[in-house]
Amino acid sequence: MLNWGRKAALHARVPAGKLLDRSARFSSGSKLFVGGLSHDTNEVALKDAFSQHGDVIQVKVICHPVTGQSKGYGFVKFSSEKDAAAALEKMSDEVLDGKNIRVHFANSG
């Protein structure tokens, strides 16, 4: 039998400041979400496209765990927020591998 009351009481003891600090760590102004990717776009192609606008330090195309096929979105992390902002401005609504891509700051909403 689960004791839901005890679990709720434990969460109630966490100071609000701690919760805010934790959520702040997850949002990053240097990481971009890229949607609308072609299923043929791989991490190398994504990095090549975004590297023209700043120092890319990490790229991840999200793939189906069984088939390995791209799910049509990924993430690009830059070494600075300035580079990410420049890439966001220049790459939004651009065509990559025949598809119009959407670019947003990751974890922004």
Question: How confident is the model over 64-108, as pLDDT tens digits?
Answer: 999 999 999 999 999 999 999 999 999 999 999 999 999 999 975
pTM: 0.72
Domain that holds residue 55: 29-103
Number of domains making up the chain: 1
pLDDT attached to residue 17? 46
For residue 54, what is the DSSP state? S
Residue-by-residue DSSP string for 72-96: EEEEEEESSHHHHHHHHHHHTT-EE
CATH label of the domain that carries residue 69: 3.30.70.330
Positions of E strands within the chain: 31-35, 56-63, 70-78, 95-96, 99-100, 102-105
Q: Is residue 13 part of a domain?
A: no
Q: What is the mean pLDDT of the chain?
A: 82
User: How many CB atoms are located within 10 Å of the residue 41 CB?
Assistant: 22
For residue 38, what is the DSSP state? -
Q: Is residue 72 part of a domain?
A: yes
Question: Is residue 33 over pLDDT 80?
Answer: yes
Question: Is residue 14 over pLDDT 50?
Answer: no
Q: Is residue 71 part of a domain?
A: yes
Q: Is residue 24 part of a domain?
A: no
